[in-house]
Structure 1
Amino acid sequence: MNRADVIIIGSGIGGATLAAALAPSGRRILILERGERLQPSPQDRDPRAIFASGHFRPDETWVDGAGKLFNPGNYYCVGGNSKFYGAALIRYRKEDFEPRQLMGGYSHGWPMPYEELETDYTAAEQLYDVRGTTKEDPTEPPHSGGYPHPPVSDEVDIADLRTRLSQAGLTPSSVPLGVEIETWLEAGQTTWDAFPNTCGGKMDAETCALAEALKHENVELLTNARVLKLKVDAVGRVTSVEVDGHGALSAPVIVLAAGAVQSSVLLLQSANDNFPTGFANRSDQVGRNFMNHNCSAVLALHPLRRNRALYQKTLMFNDYYNSDGQGGLPLGNIQMLGKITGPILASQTHLPAPIAALIANRSFDFYAMSEDLPNPESRVTVEGGQIKLDWKRSNWAAHEALVARLKAHLKQAGFPVVLSRPFDRRTPSHQCGTARMGNDPSSSVVDTFCRSHDHKNLFIVDASVLPTSAAVNPALTIAALALRAGRHIIETEFAA
């Protein structure tokens, strides 16, 4: 494509969804992806290759706040991190958009109410072919339309677990999922959580949104195209992007969708004499307010009861999402992890293989998730090409309370042994927040349509714009925001 009308940097949930929204306009859209398409391989369903060897992890290191090097769990490929995600496509709750007190501090909410994003949530659920129901979870926000498909069915032992949790006083509900279960299992008898999607069974950015966009001749995907920096003119309009091996590419509209870390790095690395602190950074908020959910794996076991589930990730409960159950402050969300197997457990704990298999064959595996609050000192910086991620956890007491309540309920439900382990910074538990959305240009990076306050032809449509992390998976919210941004671009940039 010699000249594009829109350049989108990144093909994950945000970038691919925006491309799908813009494609019917007929304008020329160029998507730049630094990685390649994943190809089927023997490692796709090999837990040792994924969890022990890190076969799909990037060959790079970042520095943490203490100056220690670590290998991040982010992926560079067509579809981005969604190729490996757990496919939980859950709406933020209505309360997540509103100001409220948490145990770790005060959340100022969003610069717009839930209602302004609701129709885009519905459209995103259609685009990603979500399986779900609105009838089970009392925290489910209002829907203007139903899910495209009924929820993925519980396996036999998970159906029994659902009954046990109900008897223990909880309100289990079905996880809204982007999975075509028969297609997934035909390619291998495993869960999909953290396994790459090369069979089309998982509704990820490549399988759904990008495939839809590429049906249009005016959309082109360029892989192995790493963007090094942006360039602007004297009045602050972004004129081009510098792509390794491809030179400078230009378009009237530039969109960043490289993820919460890499989008902020690109803005910071683009600094020049007129913008010495980086682009879109008049507020000094680029790279700041990094959030990563507080997460723990919780394993419930009965030594005489086996769990025969292959995937198990069909159940969640939000009894403690808006309060602690006793009129106190919110704690978070509980959902099932993809089924942990012996090799997975051995690779994460260094237990002997026979012991790991014994435990995994009897475990029901949960994912406890609590909100992380924005903090300007929790931030991404870059110096000499080295990325530094200084994540400062917040609201940890709420997470500990959530895990404690989960353990108590699981013992009530008939599991005498309950183990837990928090996730560390090597696991990207829904990174977000480094280019936050807001109405005030002095304290935010983009407006509610994801347009940069400082560069009117620059948009950011990935998790970096999220002003709060909430306590559920952000993929559907990112997709909804991208659809909203796409409609705005068509109405304002393409109107002439």
Structure 2
Amino acid sequence: MADTMDADLIIIGTGAGGGTLARALAPSGISILVLERGDFLPREKANWQAEAVFHAHRYHTQERWRDGSGRSFQPVTGYHVGGNTKLYGAAVLRRRNEDFVARNHVDGSTPDWPISYADLSSHYDEAEHWYHAHGLAGADPTEPLRGNYPYPPFTHEPYMADVVRQLERAGLHPFPLPLALNRDEANPQLSACIRCDSCDGFPCMLHAKGDAETCGILPALQYANVRILTGIRVRKLLTNPKGSRVESVEAESPQGARRFHARVVVVAAGAINSAALLLASANALHPRGLANGSDQLGRNYMCHLNSACIAIDPRRINPTVFQKTIAINDFYNTSGKADFPFPLGHIQNLGKVTPAILKAQRPFFPWPLARWAAEHSVDWWLTTEDLPRSDNRVSLDADGSIRLHYQPTNEAAHKRLVGGWKNILKRLGYPLVFTQRMGIEAVAHQVGTARFGTDPGQSVLDINCKAHELDNLYVVDASFMPSISAVNPSLTIMANALRVGVHLRQRFAQGDWKIQLENG
């Protein structure tokens, strides 16, 4: 280990995992260096311009990846302080109890997790407080036992309140969608969030979204022991001669090549880029990639089966501005049909589709058609669980670029969810229902690739998200997940980072790395 340390702990990446961990460890006195490939996302008028966000992809990377067949594609992902939470929809749902144990699906079963819901429950509580979570405990019949949300649910606008009544009359159980937004509904004039139509998928110009920059990195930087360097692209982790510890972090910066040293290194670059980094760090003692003695690194990639749905009632104009307030889990654990005894998935509102969003995503639409469709639509997002498969994986091409081998699973369940929801919407009075399935480029819900477990032969990380084979290497983004569930992964990433933070504080306090803490 090098004598000169840049920090006690280096965190690579600032998304839901890295940003949350930085804040969790900041009060401990541990010196923390955060390395971010991108920069702070600029606050500018284009933040709320659909053409810039959805067509020009102003805030997404321009790099190209390849699929398993060698086809080049542009991934819908970005490199900023806050990671992909800067553009997420801010839906923050807990995994169900059933999501932590093996569960049968039409295409197979999910594995057991080495921890249970109870192990994350208190960390879910803390993450919800940090990220301004709004919701109503007990409203979702599938949600596990919990206390009250920090903030009451977002109220429905009149049109959406009527949709709730229609769904209830149809025998369904809609509930307020949990949202991570900085708003006090009782005192809107004092709130950052203004319930605008540029939330879901947009950066927030007002910093009202509960993202990992505003709720993780910025609070962490209030402590003198935490610093951040942006524009730093980490290329490789180098180990000591025994291959038992990470000794240094090799990176590129605008000023040229740099090397950083710390007692502990935490990777939090996202499930795809974290796997790519560890694969690129192969050496003589780790020939298949760092922490890859099990040959599981990069494997078991999962991404939700997602479809957008636009339902149009030509007789009713929908004047809603902030639409994303409803969720339905009636089909989360079962289809409700004897001939298909498997889960289907989760349904929630999209942010209100506007004419500008439709035109940005479908440039061939004439403006009058885009305006008419948006005025008469109610918009939904449908999610089905993907299953871990060894052949669904991240690998590196000879030039070091990312190749994503991926074939989705549970497609029969997703088709039933989409088809069943279309039928329900038509019965509710929406004769025109259109859906669009997301493709391989939609990687916002990427998980897997470095799953944790108790068996080093079948997992990459141990129960504390430390690499089995290296004493000071941790991974705290969505890579650790053995299964994806059918709810948005962000809150679970945040809660797990808090859990790992407790473990790291204990290790430092015990002197595992010969560090004397000033506090905590």
Once the two structures are superposed, residues 437-494 of structure 1 have per-residue CA deviations (whole angstroms, 9 ceiling, x without a partner) of: 1111111011121111111210000011111010000000000110000000111233
CA distance in 2, matches of 1:68, 1:462: 27
Contact 1:152 1:314 in 2 (8 A): yes
Gaps of 5+ in 2: 512-520
- Superposed, 1:40-439 pairs within 5 Å as 40-143=43-146, 145-181=147-183, 182=188, 183=191, 186=194, 189-235=196-242, 236-244=244-252, 245=256, 247-326=258-337, 328-349=341-362, 350-383=364-397, 384-439=399-454
Once the two structures are superposed, residues 388-428 of structure 1 have per-residue CA deviations (whole angstroms, 9 ceiling, x without a partner) of: 11111001111001111111211222212211111112222
User: Cα offset for 1:345?
Assistant: 1.6
* Alignment counterpart, residue 466 of structure 2, candidates 446, 451, 467: 451
Letter in 1 for 2:176: S
Contact 2:268 2:477 in 1 (8 A): yes
Once the two structures are superposed, residues 90-147 of structure 1 have per-residue CA deviations (whole angstroms, 9 ceiling, x without a partner) of: 001110001110112111131221111111111111111211111211001111x321
Once the two structures are superposed, residues 319-362 of structure 1 have per-residue CA deviations (whole angstroms, 9 ceiling, x without a partner) of: 00011123621110000011111121223233222112211111
Letter in 2 for 1:471: A
CA distance in 1, matches of 2:110, 2:487: 15
Contact 2:5 2:263 in 1 (8 A): no
Contact 1:191 1:310 in 2 (8 A): no
Letter in 2 for 1:223: T
Gaps of 5+ in 1: none
**Corresponding residue SS for 2:303:** coil
CA distance in 1, matches of 2:401, 2:445: 22
User: TM-score if structure 1 supplies the norm length?
Assistant: 0.97
Alignment of 1:29 with 2:36, yes or no, is: no
Contact 1:165 1:172 in 2 (8 A): yes
User: TM-score if structure 2 supplies the norm length?
Assistant: 0.93
User: Cα offset for 1:191?
Assistant: 3.3
User: Cα offset for 1:3?
Assistant: 2.1
CA distance in 1, matches of 2:132, 2:56: 32
User: Cα offset for 1:268?
Assistant: 0.5
User: Cα offset for 1:2?
Assistant: 6.1
CA distance in 2, matches of 1:7, 1:64: 31
Contact 1:225 1:246 in 2 (8 A): no
CA distance in 1, matches of 2:217, 2:326: 28
65-74 or 1-10, which deviates more: 1-10
The count of corresponding residues between Structure 1 and Structure 2 is: 494
411-420 or 24-33, which deviates more: 411-420
**Corresponding residue SS for 2:446:** coil
Contact 1:165 1:410 in 2 (8 A): no
Contact 1:379 1:390 in 2 (8 A): yes
Contact 1:191 1:312 in 2 (8 A): no
**Structure 1: 4+ residue segments shifted above 4 A:** 181-186
Letter in 2 for 1:338: G
Letter in 2 for 1:71: Q
Letter in 1 for 2:359: A
CA distance in 2, matches of 1:126, 1:53: 35
**Corresponding residue SS for 1:227:** strand
**Corresponding residue SS for 1:228:** strand
Contact 1:30 1:221 in 2 (8 A): yes
Contact 2:344 2:417 in 1 (8 A): yes
Once the two structures are superposed, residues 273-299 of structure 1 have per-residue CA deviations (whole angstroms, 9 ceiling, x without a partner) of: 111111010111111111110010111
Once the two structures are superposed, residues 207-243 of structure 1 have per-residue CA deviations (whole angstroms, 9 ceiling, x without a partner) of: 1111221121101111111111000012320011012
Percent of matched pairs sharing the same residue: 44
**Corresponding residue SS for 2:61:** coil
RMSD value, Cα: 1.4
